[in-house]
Structure 1
Amino acid sequence: MVKNIEACEWLTSAIKNLEASNMDPSYAKMRAVREKRAEFVLLKCTFVRRASEFLRNYFPTLIDSMLNDKDNFTQKGQLQRPDHADMRYKCRTYARLLQFIKSLDKSCMIPLRKAYCHSLNLLIRREAREYSNELRNSSKASKSSAPSFEGPAGANQPAGIADSPAEAYSKMITAFIPHLVDESLFLAHFMCFEVPTSGGSDSDEDSTPKTSGSSGSSAKPSNNSSADLGVLNECLQEMLDGIQEDFYAIVDWAFKLDPLSCIPMHGITDRYIAGQKTEVAGYVSVLLDDLESRITILFSRV
Structure 2
Amino acid sequence: MKVAISIPRLPDGPGLRAFVQRAEALGFDAVLAGDHIVLPTGGTQQYPYTSDGSFSRPADEPFLETMTLLGYLAACSETVKLGSTVIILPYRNPVVQAKMFASLDVLLTNGRMICGVGVGWLEKEFEILGVPYAERGPMTDEFLEIFIALWTQPEPVFHGRFYDLEGIQFYPKPVQQPHIPIWVGGHTRRALRRTAKYGDCWHTTRQTPDFVARNLPYLHRQIEEAGRDPASVSISLKRSLHFTDMGLGEGESVRSGGAIIGTAQEIIDDVHYCRELGIDQLTYDFRVEGIDQSIQVME
Length-normalised TM-score, structure 2: 0.26
Could you say which structure has the higher helix fraction?
Answer: 1
Q: Which of 1 and 2 has greater Rg?
A: 1
Could you say which structure has the higher strand fraction?
Answer: 2
